[in-house]
Amino acid sequence: MESDLHHVLKVNDDLTPQHHQFFLYQLLRGLKFMHSAHVFHRDLKPKNILANADCKIKICDLGLARVSFTDSPSAVFWTDYVATRWYRAPELCGSFYSNYTPAIDMWSVGCIFAEMLTGKPLFPGKNVVHQLELVTDLLGTPSPITLSRIRNEKARKYLSNMRRKDPVPFTHKFPNIDPVALKLLQRLVAFDPKDRPSAEEALADPYFQGLANVDYEPSRQPISKLEFEFERRKLTRDDVRELMYREILEYHPQMLQEYLQGEENINSHFMYPSGVDQFKQEFARLEEHGDDEEERNSPPIQRKYTSLPRERVCSSEDEGGDSVHAHAQPSSGSVVFTPPQSPNTETGLSSKKTAATPVKRSACLARSDSICASRCVGVSSAVS
């Protein structure tokens, strides 16, 4: 996908009502599928909706998404601090309820729809209190019935003490907008979550007449607990390391093969190649050969895997120095990146007896194009 909805709304001021209708239809269609699986996205906003030149959109960034395994799609153990504030439902802003439903996503859809229609956020609150002020400025203070459903005593008291506000007619707030679209918007941003439609109910709204087709609006069975059995496991620090390293190996097939073979043949945990392990080996080598000048000045132990940080070779400060690499002649102070190799090779690295002191200049501190910076090896001034 080339862009996201936030960028599309920002740079295109010529979107037609047909664009708005098609975008909203796709968004609700995706949510219908997610909610039928009892999955809450919890962070819907224009930046989390990808878009392309064909006006096709996709919901992304499910990092805050959670699954409810109860018969009714609600949860009592999730945090209220989810979703970007401007698109956060009022029950999350004030911790109104001990549980919440997919209606929190429908509120976000309403805010996104309003932003499509006007080109600017509907409730750009500076903080949670300001957010609630903006919501009540448009929707009015909640009714006594709605207040009675709020279980959080502090939130109920705060809203009860708020000065009385009458709701603003949407036709005044959004002039020149299709009344059918405004009716759907008013349903989506209802203060009471029970008054908001589900994704399936919203798709049946007259606003989508001629576009909605139940045959192209898929749903699925709720996700089984067995698919999330891994979340019940109690992981130790070593278990987390193992899982993280196993995930990294998926991008390094050769190392993955070594890992799998080692696990089958040796039946033991993989030895992680780390900077700490290399330092221990180097320290032990220096301790063992403390009196041996030649051994002490020899290059440090090279790392085994090419996917790990490579050695950096800094050129000599002598402007008349020869080329370090066969294919490049760097100027003074330049940095040549080469993979780790043993001394006395074609790269021109100095031998153990003539190892030069690393050049202490800012130019030599540039990061290599591998994972991170590694040891900077000086180049002998007498390179053949």
Side chain identity, residue 72: S
Structural tokens at position 309: 């940080």
Domain residue extents for the chain: 3-224, 226-259, 304-384
Beta strands in 52-113 (DSSP E): 57-59, 66-67
For 313, phi then psi, to 5°, come to -115, 120
Give the per-residue pLDDT at 255.
84
Side chain identity, residue 162: M
The answer to whether 337 and 343 are in contact (CB under 8 A) is no
Give the per-residue pLDDT at 325.
42
Q: Is 215 a catalytic residue?
A: no
Residue 239 C-beta-side C-alpha neighbours within 13 Å: 5
Beta strands in the chain (DSSP E): 3-4, 39-40, 49-51, 57-59, 66-67, 312-314, 335-337, 376-377
CA distances from residue 161 to 141, 142, 146 in whole angstroms, order as listed: 10, 11, 14
Please state which CATH number belongs to domain 3-224: 1.10.510.10
Q: Which of 4, 43, 80, 192 is labelled catalytic?
A: 43
Distance CA 2, CA 288 (A): 58
The answer to whether 340 and 334 are in contact (CB under 8 A) is no
3-state helix, strand, coil in the chain (%, to 5): 40, 5, 50
Distance CA 224, CA 69 (A): 7
List, for the chain, all residue ranges whose pLDDT scores fall below the cut of 50. 72-78, 80, 264-270, 305-384
pTM higher than the cut 0.85: no
